[in-house]
């Protein structure tokens, strides 16, 4: 079939079941937008800046389990995607970024709105393409989709000059499997390694399962449940692994790391076997590497061979997909009596004594209440800062795939567009709470317009302490309380600001006794709203694993 | 050598000392984990003012605006990871318009590098295509030298952005501070001989229909351009970046060239027999169809960057020189009496001006062009103007009468929506006490709307004029003209936009809305007279298009007038 | 220690940039890098000499493998392989010592490729040790300029079994 390059692009996306794309028009993508207008199957979501589009598409993709799609025009449209792409790269989120480029004949001549976006994004994509030859466009799109969505997932960018969008191409939908010579991810674990793993697990007295984001992506939640519930192996997660198993259960210890749950950190310290799945042992999760799980043997299961042994020394590596490897292991392991270990875990958990600096309205309490009220019904997106850590600690996630947050890059401004993307992906069936702070929220607050335009069920839970409090906390400890450029001497009147967007409701919480009634009220109607909580800037996130210390050397938690 | 009594200070303090040596008084930035020591040093520093923006992109554009209006190098700070990547668009914007900018980004400590550590990104590689130079500091001993080098590179020759990435542990390490007098950076030599300029003077004497074409590279050559034009009696046209070099009120100024240039300017391009191009790079938005660009003319191209010669347009004489110095040398060898023979040419120009003026119909809703003209009146021609990108930018270029150089601040090459509002902050701080007007459209202003807070918190007396046409008007115009009015994703319904007056009020900024023609000038004038930041929303006709227009790729004289 | 990697890559624009970028990004040091088309014009072969410890080289190999354009990575350091490097050396010489230099060249199987009044350019190929040796041997005469291609390598016939 003959059609334009732009039409072929949309046809391929349709073939993959794409329903929404996030973008912003401009000169170089005009032909694409013309094709979008004529396409009945894909809805375009007009964001208010491309950065938000990339974040929204990433969160959307994480929800539906295949890459979201974002579009930027050439030049500033493309460069505005950079933070969103870097964010997706660090968290291995599948994302397809389409950028317009100036006409092929102008490339390299500093034409209007020209930027070398393939050069710029090279360090932060799984792969990228500049399509110079329209004949190659169709194959490149198929390859790009395949690369983004298989193996260790990640962002792929295709830079398409305007004339390539306009060119006539031959398009036949492909039914064969995409094959790329230099790209063959390993899904099946090596049998002999799996056998060794089974043996190690069966002979371990104090095993601990450590779950990372890779488990979410491989949809191995059922396998994790079996590990914990059938074989009584306790589990902890990294920030990205939250939302794989119900944290209210006894053997679920929650997040480890710099601001992890004390009992989770102790469990890592005391275990004799750590079964790490789909995690890259990021520095915020491990603390001092030499003290990390130092009495334990470590099994590392990951789809990316380059992660094995990158940060932590491994006793048994298994390269493969989490779901496949875990289910193979489950075939071999036995139910082993480990009462002592389990009692210890349960005791550790029951003796949780995280310090809580008491203020008039504690953010921890708001999040805890929100969890108690709606844990099984709502999805959570967060920004970056204290509120992000409080959400990870206090919400007690119970549903699969229910947390959308920026882990590796720590991107302020991720939360609101992410909530927008997730709300769309969930088809309006779930309310999405965006837990944010006054610093992060301002970074992409323009997206309120998009949220209002589509009347998305997004509730912005704004914990306003009029400062950049996580940085302030670092200054508290590292700079002897010299607080430099972290206080907002002025903040907008957030309620008034929200009301300036049509159909946006605004609430305010100033006291503990208002929490439940306001949250209930906000949840009772399905449209967007902003709930501003006035909190102190003196809260500290505890516990803290200080720099160069091991996970068991936390401060801000009562000694044992 | 500039030694400080052999006392060792940490890397963060060294950075600030270097900035002081470079006479930096204002920095725009946003803190974070990797720049903690830097912000701690800033806390103790009394000489440098730090403006906390609400997004790093805002900081980058503000530093850029500061540089554009002062001619000095702007400085922005950001933390590692997302802080650094948030600067990318601002850096690319500065690169395309050759603006001197030094960005200092925090980075994770050296032993965390290359491990995808928390908030690590390889910013040095990311910005390679969009900086003059980018470098990651290796140890505290080289810090001072590298920063000196950064300023040297950013601020000499063809200017541009430089990024210096500093791992956190280096900002804590200590060294003796020495600011080197010289650094090892080979500046490309430029400068043409007197003999060459004599040849140019002869060309100028021999031609009948000269046209001077000025660009951003001539921003420091106002006096010379004016003298040259007056002595030659040559009409002057300009690129978007060259606006203001010669006052828009000057009788020889015939307006902007290119896609949305004036009739007279574009006809003159096609008819002139000599084009003297000064500090321009013949961008596609200026030249249209390159083969037919100035096809009857001998082209003399004066530029400080050799790489621009013959890149887009073949010049006949290349002058590799600084524009002010070059013109100064030229004026010295020019013999005055011989250049006054262009009467017929000027008459022709006048005819084009009369036959093809910039026009619009003053009926129905307020026209955006009227709003710009109201700014001319209300500002008494004294304002420093920033713009965003879109139709309002082109109308500003056409109708705003810039009094002199560095008064019209806009994103030319990259065409960055979201540039104008933060840039205005830099402009205001660079020109304290002066009137600064930020002209915006309803699409662009949303891209960095959070900076309203920075403006309000610092009580910067910027007058923000929002031309609200409820659409992404420039894209809509292209869809109207070239896609048979298929408006894809460019029109905003009422519910799709905030109430901008309420929004500005929420930021503590006084705001008013003007929708009646009768109120326009009075309200605008009143707002400009008030203290502090002011937000003025003008509800304008969304059907209005920017004319004249040279369709992309067409010759300059193939203008569409309506 | 120095390791030699033989890398088969897609022959398309930008591949070299990706690989160079990877090395820069992760802070690996390249001693030399050569690239050229293979028997199949769709592919190029690179020989990369890396300086570092075993663990670093392992990471390099894994990271290279992650690049989509990289088809195969072989660490051939310990595998029997042939390796060569080509060098041009411009050395000062006049009629007095020309003969002496020519004699020296014979030992290294070098030859003269350009001759002028005060200097000559000589070429030779060999493993890296030999190249170092000839440079050393010629330096007393005064070396004006040296250009080395960097090492190329190929696994020997039965080496692939390893």
Query: Rounded to an integer, what distance in angstroms lies between the CA atom of residue A57 and that of residue A72?
Result: 12
> What is the reported pLDDT for C160?
52
Query: Rounded to an integer, what distance in angstroms lies between the CA atom of residue B72 and that of residue B523?
Result: 35
The CATH number given to whatever domain includes residue B397 is: 3.40.50.970
Q: What is the DSSP string of B50-116?
A: EEE-SSHHHHHHHHHHHHHHHSSPEEEEE-TTHHHHTTHHHHHHHHHTT--EEEEEEE--GGGTTTT
Structure tokens at A273: 């076997």
- Closest chain C C-alpha to B166 CA, distance in angstroms: 15
Q: How far, in Å, are A286, A293, B169, C59 from residue A289 at the CA level?
A: 6, 9, 18, 18
Q: Which of B355, B381, B407 is the last residue of a domain?
A: B355
> What is the reported pLDDT for B5?
65
**Average pLDDT of A354-374?**
91
Q: Is C25 on the interface with A (CB under 8 A)?
A: yes
Q: Is residue B448 domain-resident?
A: yes
| A247 and A138 within one domain | no
Q: Is residue B557 domain-resident?
A: no
The answer to whether the Cβ–Cβ distance between B114 and C26 falls below 8 Å is: yes
Residue-number span of the structural domain to which B274 is assigned? 194-355
Q: Which of A297, A326, A350 is the last residue of a domain?
A: A350
Residues of chain C with C-beta less than 8 angstroms from the C-beta of A123: 21, 25
The CATH number given to whatever domain includes residue A240 is: 3.40.50.1220
Residue-number span of the structural domain to which A282 is assigned? 191-350
| B165 and B247 within one domain | no
H/E stretch holding B349: helix B343-355
Report the chain B residue with the minimal C-alpha distance to residue C60.
B114
* Residue among B208, B107, B100, B224 nearest B164 (CA): B107
Q: Is B178 helix (H, G, I), strand (E, B) or coil?
A: strand
The answer to whether the Cβ–Cβ distance between A181 and C71 falls below 8 Å is: yes
The pairing of strands B253-256 and B236-238 is parallel
| A463 and A429 within one domain | yes
> What is the reported pLDDT for B3?
53
> What is the reported pLDDT for B1?
47
Q: Which of B179, B210, B228 is the last residue of a domain?
A: B179
pLDDT-derived band at C53, boundaries 50, 70, 90? confident
**Average pLDDT of B524-546?**
97
Give burial (CB, 10 Å; 0-12/13-18/19+) of A412.
buried
| A116 and A73 within one domain | yes
Structure tokens at C22: 């990877």
Q: Is residue A270 domain-resident?
A: yes
- Closest chain A C-alpha to C21 CA, distance in angstroms: 7
What dihedral angle (degrees, nearest 10) is formed by the CA atoms of C78, C79, C82, C88? -30
Residues of chain B with C-beta less than 8 angstroms from the C-beta of C21: 125
Q: Is residue A546 domain-resident?
A: no
Query: Rounded to an integer, what distance in angstroms lies between the CA atom of residue C65 and that of residue A308?
Result: 14
Q: Which of residues 42-71 of C touch B (CB under 8 A)?
A: none
How many structural domains are present in chain A?
A: 3
Q: Is residue A229 domain-resident?
A: yes
The answer to whether the Cβ–Cβ distance between B446 and A310 falls below 8 Å is: no
**Average pLDDT of B495-523?**
96
ipTM: 0.94
| A406 and A337 within one domain | no
Choose the closest CB to B85 out of A86, A111, A471.
Answer: A86
Domain C2-75 and domain C82-153, same fold? Reply is yes
| A235 and A369 within one domain | no
| A442 and A405 within one domain | yes
The residues with which C3 forms a beta bridge, in sequence order, are: C50
Query: Rounded to an integer, what distance in angstroms lies between the CA atom of residue A492 and that of residue A527?
Result: 22
Residues A259-312: pLDDT tens digits? 999 999 999 999 999 999 999 999 999 999 999 999 999 999 999 999 998 899
Q: What angle do CA B333, B337, B340 make, to 5 degrees?
A: 110
- Closest chain C C-alpha to B275 CA, distance in angstroms: 38
> What is the reported pLDDT for C162?
39
> What is the reported pLDDT for C157?
81
Residues of chain C with C-beta less than 8 angstroms from the C-beta of B125: 21, 24-25
Q: Is residue A357 domain-resident?
A: no
**Own/partner long-range contacts of B153-158 (Cβ < 8 Å, ≥24 apart):** B153/B185, B154/B73, B154/B100, B154/B101, B154/B102, B155/B72, B155/B73, B155/B100, B156/B187, B157/B187, B157/B188, B157/B190, B157/B304, B157/B305, B158/B98, B158/B217, B158/B303, B158/B304, B158/B305
The answer to whether the Cβ–Cβ distance between C68 and A304 falls below 8 Å is: no
Residues of chain C with C-beta less than 8 angstroms from the C-beta of B113: 26-27
Residues of chain B with C-beta less than 8 angstroms from the C-beta of A384: 82
| B175 and B216 within one domain | no
| B512 and B394 within one domain | yes
| A291 and A206 within one domain | yes
> What is the reported pLDDT for B288?
86
Statement: residue C161 has pLDDT above 50: no
| B203 and B164 within one domain | no
* Residue among B411, B442, B414, B423 nearest B504 (CA): B442
- Closest chain B C-alpha to C67 CA, distance in angstroms: 16
Q: Best of A181, A186, A310, A317 to disrupt the C interface by mutation (most C CBs within 10 Å)?
A: A181
Q: Is residue A552 domain-resident?
A: no
| B529 and B488 within one domain | yes
Choose the closest CB to A46 out of B116, B489, B503.
Answer: B489
Query: Rounded to an integer, what distance in angstroms lies between the CA atom of residue C95 and that of residue A501?
Result: 89
> What is the reported pLDDT for B64?
98
Superfamily holding C82-153: ACT-like. Chain A, domain 2 (3.30.70.1150)
A&B contacts, CB < 8 Å: 261
Q: Which of A138, A170, A202 is the last residue of a domain?
A: A170
Choose the closest CB to C68 out of A118, A147, A304.
Answer: A147
Q: Which of A321, A350, A379 is the last residue of a domain?
A: A350
Statement: residue B49 has pLDDT above 70: yes
Q: Is residue A185 domain-resident?
A: no
Residues B407-416: pLDDT tens digits? 999 999 999 9
Q: Is residue A385 domain-resident?
A: yes
Residues B167-195: pLDDT tens digits? 999 999 999 999 999 888 887 789 999 99
* A432 against A350, higher pLDDT: A432
pLDDT-derived band at A489, boundaries 50, 70, 90? confident
| B232 and B266 within one domain | yes
| B427 and B387 within one domain | yes
Structure tokens at B384: 């420093």
The CATH number given to whatever domain includes residue A40 is: 3.40.50.970
Residues B67-84: pLDDT tens digits? 999 999 999 999 999 999
| A148 and A7 within one domain | yes
Q: Is residue A356 domain-resident?
A: no
Q: What is the DSSP string of A428-474?
A: T-SEEEEEEEHHHHHHTGGGHHHHHHTT--EEEEEEE-SB-HHHHHH
Q: Chains with 3 or more CB pairs closer than 8 angstroms to C?
A: A, B
Which residue shows structure tokens 């390993």?
A186
Residues of B noted as catalytic: 56, 118-119, 168, 474
Report the chain B residue with the minimal C-alpha distance to residue A82.
B85
Q: What is the DSSP string of B389-427?
A: SSHHHHHHHHH----STT-EE---SS--TT-HHHHHHHH
Statement: residue A85 has pLDDT above 50: yes
| B301 and B341 within one domain | yes
Please say whether the beta carbons of A556 and A543 come within 8 A: yes
Q: What is the mean pLDDT of chain C?
A: 89
Q: Chains with 3 or more CB pairs closer than 8 angstroms to B?
A: A, C
Q: Is residue B420 domain-resident?
A: yes
Please say whether the beta carbons of A91 and A408 come within 8 A: yes
Query: Rounded to an integer, what distance in angstroms lies between the CA atom of residue A2 and that of residue A167?
Result: 10
Phi, psi of B64 (to 5 degrees): -65, -45
Q: What angle do CA A421, A426, A427 make, to 5 degrees?
A: 100
Please say whether the beta carbons of A153 and A145 come within 8 A: no
- Closest chain A C-alpha to C75 CA, distance in angstroms: 15
Which residue shows structure tokens 């193979």?
A328
| A143 and A10 within one domain | yes
Please say whether the beta carbons of C66 and C72 come within 8 A: no
The 3 state secondary structure assigned to B207-257 is CCCEEEEECHHHCCCHHHHHHHHHHHCCCEEECHHHCCCCCCCCCCEEEEC
| B351 and B372 within one domain | no
| A370 and A446 within one domain | yes
Q: What is the mean pLDDT of chain A?
A: 95
- Closest chain A C-alpha to B252 CA, distance in angstroms: 28
Residues of chain C with C-beta less than 8 angstroms from the C-beta of B114: 25-27
| A160 and A47 within one domain | yes
The answer to whether the Cβ–Cβ distance between B125 and C24 falls below 8 Å is: yes
Statement: residue B4 has pLDDT above 60: no
Superfamily holding C2-75: ACT domain (3.30.70.260)
A&C contacts, CB < 8 Å: 35
The answer to whether the Cβ–Cβ distance between A181 and C9 falls below 8 Å is: no
Least confident of A155-169, A508-522, C17-31: C17-31
| B215 and B108 within one domain | no
Please say whether the beta carbons of A292 and A269 come within 8 A: no
Structure tokens at B115: 């491990």
Q: Is residue B362 domain-resident?
A: no
How many structural domains are present in chain B?
A: 3
Q: Which of residues 115-134 of A touch C (CB under 8 A)?
A: 118-119, 122-123, 126-127, 130
């Amino acid at each position: 079939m003959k059609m334009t390059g732009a039409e072929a692009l949309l046809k391929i996306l349709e073939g993959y079941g794409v329903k929404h794309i996030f973008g912003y028009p401009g000169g170089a993508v005009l032909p694409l937008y013309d094709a979008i207008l004529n396409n009945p199957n894909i809805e375009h979501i007009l964001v208010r800046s491309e950065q938000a589009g990339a974040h929204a598409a990433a969160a959307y993709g994480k929800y539906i389990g295949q890459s979201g799609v974002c579009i930027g025009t050439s030049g500033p449209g493309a460069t505005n995607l950079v933070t969103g792409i870097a964010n997706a790269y660090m968290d291995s989120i599948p994302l397809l970024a389409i950028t317009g480029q100036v006409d092929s004949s102008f490339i390299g001549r500093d034409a209007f709105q020209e930027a070398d976006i393939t050069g710029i994004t090279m360090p932060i994509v799984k792969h990228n393409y500049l399509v110079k030859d329209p004949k190659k466009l169709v194959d490149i799109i198929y390859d790009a989709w395949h690369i983004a969505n298989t193996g260790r997932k990640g962002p792929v960018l295709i830079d398409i000059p305007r004339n390539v969008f306009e060119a006539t191409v031959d398009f036949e939908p492909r039914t064969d499997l995409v094959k790329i010579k230099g790209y063959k991810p390993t899904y099946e674990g090596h049998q002999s390694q799996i056998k060794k793993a089974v043996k190690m697990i069966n002979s371990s007295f104090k095993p601990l399962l450590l779950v990372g984001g890779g488990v979410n992506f491989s949809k191995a939640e059922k396998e994790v449940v079996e590990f914990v519930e059938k074989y009584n192996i306790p589990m902890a997660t990294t920030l990205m692994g939250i939302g794989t198993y119900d944290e209210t259960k006894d053997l679920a210890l929650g997040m480890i790391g710099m601001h992890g749950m004390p009992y989770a950190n102790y469990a890592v310290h005391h275990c004799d076997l750590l079964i790490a799945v789909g995690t890259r042992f990021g520095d915020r999760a491990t603390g001092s590497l030499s003290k990390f799980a130092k009495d334990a043997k470590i099994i590392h299961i990951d789809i990316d061979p380059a992660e094995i042994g990158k940060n932590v020394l491994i006793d048994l590596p298994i390269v493969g997909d989490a779901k496949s490897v875990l289910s193979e292991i489950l075939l071999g392991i036995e139910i082993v009596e480990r009462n002592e270990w389990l009692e210890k875990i349960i005791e550790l958990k029951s003796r949780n004594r995280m310090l809580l600096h008491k203020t008039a309205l504690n953010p921890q309490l708001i999040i805890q209440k929100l969890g108690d009220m709606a844990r099984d019904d709502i999805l959570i997106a967060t920004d970056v800062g204290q509120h992000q850590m409080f959400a990870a600690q206090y919400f007690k996630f119970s549903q699969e795939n229910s947390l959308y947050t920026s882990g590796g890059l720590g991107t302020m401004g991720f939360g609101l567009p992410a909530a927008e993307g997730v709300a769309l992906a969930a088809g309006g069936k779930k309310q999405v709470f965006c837990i944010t702070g006054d610093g992060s929220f301002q970074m992409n607050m323009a997206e309120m317009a998009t949220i209002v335009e589509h009347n998305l069920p997004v509730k912005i839970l704004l914990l306003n302490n009029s400062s950049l409090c996580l940085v302030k906390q670092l200054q508290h400890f590292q700079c002897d309380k010299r607080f430099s450029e972290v206080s907002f001497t002025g903040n907008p009147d957030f309620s008034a600001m929200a009301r300036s967007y049509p159909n946006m409701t605004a609430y305010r919480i100033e006291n503990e006794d208002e929490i439940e009634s306001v949250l209930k009220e906000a949840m009772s109607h399905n449209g967007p709203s902003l709930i501003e909580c006035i909190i102190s800037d003196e809260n500290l996130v505890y516990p803290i694993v200080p720099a160069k210390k091991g996970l068991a050397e936390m401060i801000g938690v009562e000694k044992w | 050598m500039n030694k400080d009594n052999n006392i060792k200070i940490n890397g963060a303090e060294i950075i600030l000392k270097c900035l002081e040596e470079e006479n930096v008084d204002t920095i725009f930035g946003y803190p974070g984990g990797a720049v903690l020591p830097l912000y701690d040093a800033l806390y103790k520093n009394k000489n440098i003012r730090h403006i906390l923006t609400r997004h790093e992109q805002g900081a980058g554009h503000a530093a850029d605006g500061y540089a554009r209006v002062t001619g000095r190098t702007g400085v922005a700070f950001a933390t590692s990871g997302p802080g650094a990547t948030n600067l990318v668009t601002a850096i690319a914007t500065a690169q395309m318009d050759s603006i001197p900018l030094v960005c200092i980004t925090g980075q994770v400590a050296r032993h965390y590098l290359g491990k995808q550590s928390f908030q690590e990104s390889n910013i040095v590689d990311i910005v390679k295509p969009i900086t003059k130079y980018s470098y990651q500091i290796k140890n505290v001993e080289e810090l001072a030298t590298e920063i000196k080098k950064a300023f040297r590179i950013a601020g000499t020759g063809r200017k541009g952005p430089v990024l210096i990435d500093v791992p956190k542990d280096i900002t804590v390490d200590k060294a003796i501070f020495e600011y080197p007098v010289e650094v090892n950076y080979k500046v490309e030599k430029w400068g043409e001989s007197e003999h060459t300029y004599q040849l140019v003077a002869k060309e100028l004497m021999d031609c009948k229909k000269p046209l001077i074409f000025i660009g951003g590279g001539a921003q420091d050559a106002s006096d010379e351009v004016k003298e040259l034009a007056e002595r030659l009696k040559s009409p002057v046209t300009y690129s978007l970046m060259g606006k203001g070099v010669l006052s828009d009120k000057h009788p020889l100024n015939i307006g902007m060239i290119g896609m949305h240039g004036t009739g007279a300017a574009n006809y003159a391009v096609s008819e002139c027999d000599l084009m003297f191009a000064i500090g321009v790079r013949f961008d596609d938005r200026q030249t249209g169809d390159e083969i037919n660009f100035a096809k009857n003319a001998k082209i003399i191209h004066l530029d400080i960057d050799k790489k621009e010669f013959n890149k887009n347009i073949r010049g006949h004489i290349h002058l590799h020189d600084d524009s002010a110095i070059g013109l100064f040398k030229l004026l010295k060898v020019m013999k005055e009496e011989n250049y006054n023979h262009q009467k017929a040419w000027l008459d022709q120009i006048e005819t084009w001006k009369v036959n093809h003026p910039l026009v619009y119909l003053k009926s129905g809703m307020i026209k955006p062009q009227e709003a710009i003209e109201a700014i001319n009146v209300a500002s008494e021609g004294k304002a420093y103007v920033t713009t965003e990108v879109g139709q309002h930018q082109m109308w500003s270029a056409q109708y705003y009468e810039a009094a002199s150089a560095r008064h019209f601040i806009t994103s030319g090459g990259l065409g960055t929506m979201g540039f104008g509002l933060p840039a205005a902050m830099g402009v205001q701080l660079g020109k304290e006490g002066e009137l600064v007007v930020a002209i915006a459209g309803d699409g662009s202003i949303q891209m960095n709307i959070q900076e309203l807070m920075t403006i309000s918190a610092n009580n910067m007396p910027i007058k923000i004029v929002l031309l609200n046409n409820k659409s992404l008007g420039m894209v809509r115009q292209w869809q109207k003209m070239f896609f048979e009015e298929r408006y894809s994703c460019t029109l905003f319904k009422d519910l799709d936009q905030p109430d901008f007056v309420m929004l500005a009020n929420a930021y503590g900024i006084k705001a008013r809305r003007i929708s009646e023609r009768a109120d326009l000038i009075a309200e605008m004038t009143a707002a400009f007279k008030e203290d502090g930041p002011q937000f003025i929303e003008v509800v304008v006709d969304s059907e209005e298009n920017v004319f004249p227009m040279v369709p992309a790729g067409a010759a300059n004289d193939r203008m569409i007038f309506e | 220690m120095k390791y030699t990697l033989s890398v088969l890559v897609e022959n398309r624009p930008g591949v070299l940039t990706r690989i160079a970028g990877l090395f820069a990004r992760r802070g690996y040091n390249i001693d030399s890098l050569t690239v050229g088309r293979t028997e199949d014009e769709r592919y190029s072969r690179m020989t990369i000499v890396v300086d570092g410890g075993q663990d670093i080289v392992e990471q390099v190999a894994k990271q290279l493998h992650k690049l989509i354009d990289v088809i195969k990575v072989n660490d051939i350091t310990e595998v029997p392989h042939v390796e060569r490097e080509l060098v041009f050396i411009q050395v000062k010489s006049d009629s007095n010592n020309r003969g002496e230099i020519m004699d020296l060249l014979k030992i290294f199987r070098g030859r003269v490729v350009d001759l002028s009044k005060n200097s000559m350019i000589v070429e030779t190929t060999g493993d890296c040790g030999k190249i170092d040796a000839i440079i050393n041997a010629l330096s007393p005469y005064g070396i004006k300029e040296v250009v080395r291609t960097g090492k190329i390598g190929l696994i020997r016939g039965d080496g692939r079994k390893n």
